[in-house]
């Protein structure tokens, strides 16, 4: 009589312990996402305002934050829509600007060995420059911290959508976004992320080379492909420098 | 542009954004990358961030402009040390936007 009871007891204790620890994991993910949230709300807001000013409907503006969820591409697309660019060019530009996610996904994937396919599908859906930066800084523990990683991602996207919604509401109230400096939100965020990435001299050199190449290509009239070409060239040259130093 | 056409364009954008995120995640999960490729991939984040950022700070109307009038460039010169010192994305965003807003309030630059 005693045995089943104690087994029951242990089981229920294990159950509550595991639900407490999964709640704790989710909460850790939310907390780790907070710096992103503080960046995404104003940037999402700026996007919402700009999209409204560029003639996108409220539903389409929100939809883009829900299903595309790629900050720089969304800003670029809004600019193209405003300029009357056709669907094919907008989609191609988005593809090129977001192709960098492929490199990010490839660099995180080796750390996701124990994950089921549906979790991988959900995780990669919310892979952005910002979530990637946080995940790659702690890539070694991704395998055992699945819930934390997913809740970090979800928190980031919720804040992006929230910022967008606030921007849509404010779009009618704000005459011009420039006095608020909202058009600088994306650049400022890239500065913060870039500094976080520059932890070794090789990385600093890579960033400088890539920045110079991108600027030269941009000046030469490459207004979208400059990002992916400069990324590949910069990383390759940086690798050359790294191998040369190691010799 | 017609909102229905924009809707379908956004669907297209979603597809071409999701596939490059999804496919490497699915096919390379748990695989060990060749060390040289792994080293290269580690350099991608600083490279891509710099490639998106630097032209937006330096180029104005198709030429490099680091004159006093380029507010974005000067704000970045302060935002970089802020990011370095405080290790805070939020602080960098708030300071950067604040500087640009202040500069415009003082009619400094565009």
Asked whether the beta carbons of B33 and A117 are under 8 A apart, the reply is no
Q: H or E segment at B59?
A: strand B59-60
Listed by number, the residues of chain B in 12-51 with a beta carbon closer than 8 Å to a beta carbon of chain A are 12-14, 16-18, 20-33, 36, 38-51
For chain B, counts of helices (H) and of strands (E): 5, 2
Residue B31 to residue B33: CA distance in whole angstroms? 6
- Could you report the per-residue pLDDT of A219-247, keeping only the tens digit for each? 998 877 788 899 899 999 999 999 999 88
- Could you report the per-residue pLDDT of A55-95, keeping only the tens digit for each? 899 999 999 999 999 988 898 899 889 888 889 889 988 88
Mean pLDDT of chain A: 87
Q: Average of pLDDT values for B82-107? A: 89
Asked whether the beta carbons of A109 and A223 are under 8 A apart, the reply is no
Residue B30's pLDDT is 78
Residue A150 to residue A120: CA distance in whole angstroms? 10
Question: A50 or A60: which carries more pLDDT confidence?
Answer: A60
Residue A38 to residue B96: CA distance in whole angstroms? 13
- Using the Cβ of B104 and the Cβ atoms of chain A, whether some distance falls under 8 Å is answered with yes
Nearest Cα residue to B61 out of A188, A218, A47, A209: A218
User: Please, how many CA atoms are within 13 Å of residue A31, restricted to the half-sphere of its CB?
Assistant: 6
In this predicted structure, the answer to whether residue A11 has a pLDDT above a threshold of 60 is: no
Residue A108: closest CA among chain B residues belongs to which residue? B25
- Could you report the per-residue pLDDT of A175-213, keeping only the tens digit for each? 787 888 888 888 998 898 899 888 899 999 999 999 999
* Predicted TM-score of the model (pTM): 0.77
Instruction: Calculate Rg over the CA atoms of chain B.
Output: 20
Contacting residues of A for B104, CB less than 8 Å apart:
178-179, 181
- Using the Cβ of B55 and the Cβ atoms of chain A, whether some distance falls under 8 Å is answered with yes
Asked whether the beta carbons of A111 and B29 are under 8 A apart, the reply is no
Least confidently predicted of A11-15, A52-56, B1-5: A11-15
| Structure tokens that stand for A14 in this block | 């294990």
- Using the Cβ of A121 and the Cβ atoms of chain B, whether some distance falls under 8 Å is answered with yes
- Could you report the per-residue pLDDT of A129-140, keeping only the tens digit for each? 889 988 988 888
Q: Chain B: nearest CA to A243, how far in angstroms?
A: 9
Contact A64/B10, CB-based, under 8 Å?
yes
Contact B44/A231, CB-based, under 8 Å?
yes
Contact B30/A114, CB-based, under 8 Å?
yes
Contact A192/B93, CB-based, under 8 Å?
yes
Q: Average of pLDDT values for A147-170? A: 96
- Could you report the per-residue pLDDT of B11-67, keeping only the tens digit for each? 999 999 999 999 999 998 877 778 898 889 889 888 988 998 999 999 998 899 988
- What does the domain layout of chain A look like in residue ranges? 30-197, 200-247
Contact A180/B40, CB-based, under 8 Å?
no
Residue A246's pLDDT is 87
Residue B87: closest CA among chain A residues belongs to which residue? A196
């Amino acid at each position: 009589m005693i045995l089943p009871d104690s087994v029951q007891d242990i089981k229920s204790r294990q159950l509550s312990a595991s639900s407490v620890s999964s709640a704790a994991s989710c909460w850790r993910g939310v907390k780790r996402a907070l710096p992103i949230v503080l960046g995404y709300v104003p940037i999402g807001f700026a996007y919402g305002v700009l999209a409204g000013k560029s003639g996108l409907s409220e539903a389409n503006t929100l939809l883009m934050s829900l299903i595309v969820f790629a900050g720089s591409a969304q800003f670029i697309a809004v600019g193209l829509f405003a300029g009357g660019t056709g669907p094919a060019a907008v989609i191609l530009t988005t593809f090129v600007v977001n192709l960098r996610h492929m490199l990010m996904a490839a660099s995180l994937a080796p750390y996701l060995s124990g994950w089921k396919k549906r979790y991988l599908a959900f995780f990669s859906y919310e892979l952005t420059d910002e979530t990637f930066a946080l995940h790659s800084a702690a890539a070694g523990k991704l395998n055992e911290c699945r819930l934390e990683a997913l809740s970090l991602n979800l928190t980031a996207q919720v804040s992006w959508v929230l910022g967008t919604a606030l921007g849509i509401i404010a779009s009618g109230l704000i005459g011009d976004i420039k006095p608020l400096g909202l058009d600088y939100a994306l650049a400022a965020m890239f500065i913060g992320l870039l500094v976080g990435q520059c932890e070794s001299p090789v990385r600093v050199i890579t960033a400088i080379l890539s920045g110079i190449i991108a600027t030269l290509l941009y000046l030469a009239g490459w207004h979208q492909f400059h990002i992916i070409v400069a990324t590949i060239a910069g990383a390759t040259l940086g690798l050359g420098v790294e191998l040369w130093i190691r010799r | 542009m017609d909102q229905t056409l924009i809707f379908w364009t956004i669907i297209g954008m979603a597809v071409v954004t999701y596939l490059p995120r999804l496919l490497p995640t699915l096919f390379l999960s748990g695989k060990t990358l060749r060390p040289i490729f792994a080293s290269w991939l580690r350099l991608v984040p600083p490279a891509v961030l710099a490639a998106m950022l630097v032209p937006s700070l330096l180029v104005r109307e198709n030429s490099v402009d680091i004159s006093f009038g380029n507010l974005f460039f000067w704000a970045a010169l302060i935002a970089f040390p802020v990011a370095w010192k405080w290790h805070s994305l939020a602080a960098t965003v708030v300071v950067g936007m604040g500087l640009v807003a202040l500069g415009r309030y003082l009619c400094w630059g565009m």
